[in-house]
Amino acid sequence: MKLELNRREFLKVSALAGVAGNMNVNLFASASPQPDNPAAWISSLIVDSVAKSPSNSIRNAEKEKAWDEPLVGFARGDDPIFQSYKEHVGPFHWTPLDIFSLTFPDATAKPEELSVISWVLPHTESIKADLRKQKTTPSEKWIRARIYGEEFNEELRRHVAETLTKAGHPAVVPVFSKSFKMGNSDRYGMASSWSERHAAYACGLGTFGLCDGLITARGKAIRCGSVVAQIKIPATPRPYQDHHAYCLFYATGACGICTTRCPAQAVTTKSGHNKMACMKQCNATAEYADKQLGLKGYGCGFCQTGVPCESRIPV
């Protein structure tokens, strides 16, 4: 049986169905609030949780971790970049104030009182190496990391939001909102109410590659997460001016290796990322995972591994 799987819908449905709701907060590290240094407090909360939580696992016999030490960044809620996203993507795309007001309709918050907290979870070398040698079908470790590693990411989102809220800073996980939806962008086709990668870009954590993956200081073999909270945190500087600054192809005209890594030819140097072809490839990996490995989910990632930006900024 062929499994039709929408990548963003998988995240939304799994969260609402209780995958993330089964979190035991005691499994996650906690850090004492630091009123004078909220960035350090929240960064420590995220870094310690990734390092210490047993949920950070791909659940194989070796009990390998899914994620290495994360990157954490922040953006102000009144950063003009969020309004520009709405203007470019479509009116259905949220600003931080949009999703905060939807979640807390009785609260009075100004954009400048909000912060976006974003993190990048880099895959371990073992997981990257396992997929790097594959050409047509994804490796079991990579699929496990996509399924169980993202379950951990869902739990981490909830943990960060709940910790902030309990400390007196109401917080929301945008991708878990009941109002989260897919829309059709006149410019970009399939798009959603909130993009984790664009939040990370706004928080100074990376820029986009030819395949639309986010290239960070820890490379492109990553996942992202974010929370919007009513707390003032100094913004992380964005050390780039162009949204393709870290991509070797856009910087020099060389590379384009991600186009040859994609089994579905969903990335080309002429047109970039074909979202529908990519979705078809993800559906194929879901069918493979189910039939061959007995795993319910999908995992591709060919364009994230075996490329110069796999684990670093190549320019």
Domain positions in the chain are 7-304
Categorise residue 237: left if φ over 0, alpha if ψ from -120 to 50, beta otherwise.
beta
pLDDT classification of 189: cutoffs 50, 70, 90: confident
Q: What pLDDT sits at residue 74?
A: 98
Which two three-digit tokens encode residue 170?
């109401």
Asked whether the predicted pLDDT for residue 5 surpasses 50, the reply is: no
Mean pLDDT confidence for 68-83: 98
Q: What pLDDT sits at residue 10?
A: 38
CB 261 within 8 A of CB 302: yes
Residue range 121-162, pLDDT digits in tens? 999 999 999 999 999 999 999 999 999 999 999 999 999 999
> pTM score, two decimals?
0.90
Q: Which residues contact 214 (CB under 8 A, 6 or more apart)?
A: 120, 197, 200, 201, 205, 206, 207, 208, 220, 222, 224
- Measured at the alpha carbon of residue 56, what is the angle toward residues 55 and 59, in degrees to the nearest 5? 75
Gap between the Cα atoms of 50 and 31, Å rounded: 13
C-alpha dihedral sign at 304, 307, 308, 310: positive
Residue range 43-62, pLDDT digits in tens? 999 999 999 999 999 999 99
- Exposed/middle/buried for 310, CB within 10 Å: 0-12, 13-18, 19+? buried
Angle between helices 7-16 and 150-166 (to 10 degrees): 50
Higher-pLDDT residue of 191 and 18 is 191
pLDDT classification of 243: cutoffs 50, 70, 90: very high
Q: What pLDDT sits at residue 15?
A: 36
